[in-house]
Amino acid sequence: MDSSAVIRQRQRDQWDAVAASMPDFSSAPSTAYYRRREIALLERAAGPLKGKRVLKLDLWNEAINTRILEWVANAGADAYGMDVSHVVSHRAKDNSRRENFDVSIARADIRQIPFRSDSFDVVYTMGTIEHIDEYKDTLREIHRVLRVGGTAVIGVPNFWDPFLRPALVAVMEMLGKYPYAPEKSFTRSELKRDVENAGLAVTQMTGILLLPGVLRMLDLFLHVRRRWAAKSTEWFIKPFDAAEERFSWLDRFGYLVTAVATKRR
């Protein structure tokens, strides 16, 4: 194996190990909030999905988190998801069988998307590409598999998160306590520039998840370790959810900055 193959193998092993030890967060209050914000974003950015082919990069949400491809499939789309991890893909597949949602699953690396050019109406990625150095290759791959006139929705950590999530992540990374490391964060202008350099035309810069990252972490901790206290977290999530729903200009303060883009040629 050459050195890049060794690195990739190590990255796959890391995600397998992380996913194998991770409980299912799908019923945590902050996950329900995350799902509502993802749905609102996709409805705004991509319009009705009925009859569309939709690809999502990574299956973490289907394995452990918001099950957003379930919503996509139930909206009448042909839902496709891909992930490099065996464990994540298997957990996603098991959940799709048990929870009865129809999603086609590929185990593959987002640096080389295993689908034909011009074959998707929508490509969605949220919190994935920032984990690889070669994320610009992935942006070019998104451009390649998207049909002309299709929509790409690309979300990554917000460098200017007002609640300093990138700083929190950096400290946890330094202490060796951040399971998703490495994780790059982006300014809006950096993300816009990178997406445009991949050949896509950015139509909107937006974002989701006003909730402070530390509250998301607390909610997940309580959900797993202190089940009796977990219900109470709904109360601190509600104001963030309501504000995000009501005031669209707050989108720039979300901890995931997002580019909505289209393919012109």
Ligand X SMILES: C[S@@+](CC[C@H](N)C(=O)[O-])C[C@H]1O[C@@H](n2cnc3c(N)ncnc32)[C@H](O)[C@@H]1O
Compare residues 81 and 150 and give the one whose CB is closer to ligand X: 81
The residues in 188-227 that bind ligand X, with binding defined as CB under 6 A, are: none
Among 22, 45, 71, 83, binds ligand X (CB under 6 A): 83
Q: How far apart are CA 235 and CA 181, in angstroms?
A: 30
Exposed, middle or buried, 30 (CB in 10 Å: 0-12/13-18/19+)? buried
Compare residues 51 and 114 and give the one whose CB is closer to ligand X: 114
Bridge partners, residue 53, by sequence: 78
Give the per-residue contact string, 34-73, with ligand X (x = CB under 6 A; - = no): ------------------------xxxx---x--------
Q: What's CA 121's distance to the chain center, in Å?
A: 18
| In the complex, least distance from residue 92 CB atom to ligand X, rounded to whole angstroms | 9
Stretch that binds ligand X, among 105-113, 160-168, 186-194, 204-212 (CB under 6 A): 105-113
Q: How far apart are CA 86 and CA 59, in angstroms?
A: 10
| In the complex, least distance from residue 106 CB atom to ligand X, rounded to whole angstroms | 10
Residue 51's CB is within 10 A of a number of other CB atoms, namely: 10
Full strand arrangement of the beta sheet holding 201-208:
103-107, 78-83, 53-57, 120-126, 146-157, 256-262, 201-208
Length, in residues, of the chain: 265
The residues in 157-186 that bind ligand X, with binding defined as CB under 6 A, are: 180
Compare residues 14 and 119 and give the one whose CB is closer to ligand X: 14
The residues in 127-146 that bind ligand X, with binding defined as CB under 6 A, are: 127-128, 131-132
Buried/exposed 16-26: b ≥16 CB within 10 Å, e otherwise: bebbeebeebb
Compare residues 122 and 246 and give the one whose CB is closer to ligand X: 122
Residues at the interface with ligand X (CB under 6 A)? 15, 58-61, 65, 83-85, 88, 109-111, 126-128, 131-132, 180
